[in-house]
Chains A and B, each alone.
Chain A
Amino acid sequence: ETGVTQTPRHLVMGMTNKKSLKCEQHLGHNAMYWYKQSAKKPLELMFVYNFKEQTENNSVPSRFSPECPNSSHLFLHLHTLQPEDSALYLCASSGDRGLEAFFGQGTRLTVV
């Protein structure tokens, strides 16, 4: 248990569906991140939020839409995804860069 909780743990969705991934932390961290990990590849940073403001978007397609309503919650809204978007989506939170980041267990997404 890392203090970062992601739901759901597994998700299967069709290409025309709309779904959302949720991430929650009560560690008092001000930064939250979304990462994508495809099979046998390193983690790719998708979005960064600091104090609820998006500070980084690494050229992520618009079919992925993040939302950070407060410092404890982060969402990733998904719509019209492609099969190649199937991956493990990881959320993380951190305080100051001199401190460790904590990762959730991830959501295993399969697009059919």
Chain B
Amino acid sequence: DAKTTQPNSMESNEEEPVHLPCNHSTISGTDYIHWYRQLPSQGPEYVIHGLTSNVNNRMASLAIAEDRKSSTLILHRATLRDAAVYYCILRPNTGKLIFGQGTTLQVKP
């Protein structure tokens, strides 16, 4: 299973943009890049995913490098409710999701 590397933790101020990086240098051509987040005492929640092109949805944007070896999750205006662990995951042909340590995002008021 291809691995991802994320910073252990990041801090942001409320209402400012947040850029969460992820490196995945061993990504294969058929791996989708998925992002999930987990709020305290809850199950993970889907955020966004992509294959090659940048993606936008109501929660966030996903910027994928041209060589696909890295990606960035962008929260345009962080709120206190965005404080969570964010997981960057490569989803292969088997479809399974393997979680790493993720990035713990703290949002300061």
Measuring CB to CB, which residues of chain A are less than 8 angstroms from any residue of chain B? 2, 4, 31, 33, 35, 42-45, 48, 50, 55-56, 90, 92, 94, 96-98, 100-106
Contacts and interface: CB of A to CB of B under 8 A. Distances in A.
Contacts of B87: 42
Contacts of B32: 97-98
B43 A100 contact: no
Contacts of A94: 95, 97
A2 B39 CA distance: 14
Interface residues of B, number: 23
A106 B39 CA distance: 13
A45 B46 contact: no
Interface in B85-109: 87, 91-102
**8 tightest CB-CB pairs across the interface, nearest first?**
A103-B43, A100-B46, A97-B95, A43-B99, A42-B99, A97-B91, A103-B44, A90-B43
Contacts of B44: 43, 90, 92, 103
A48 B51 contact: no
A96 B98 CA distance: 16
Contacts of A35: 99
Contacts of A106: 42-43
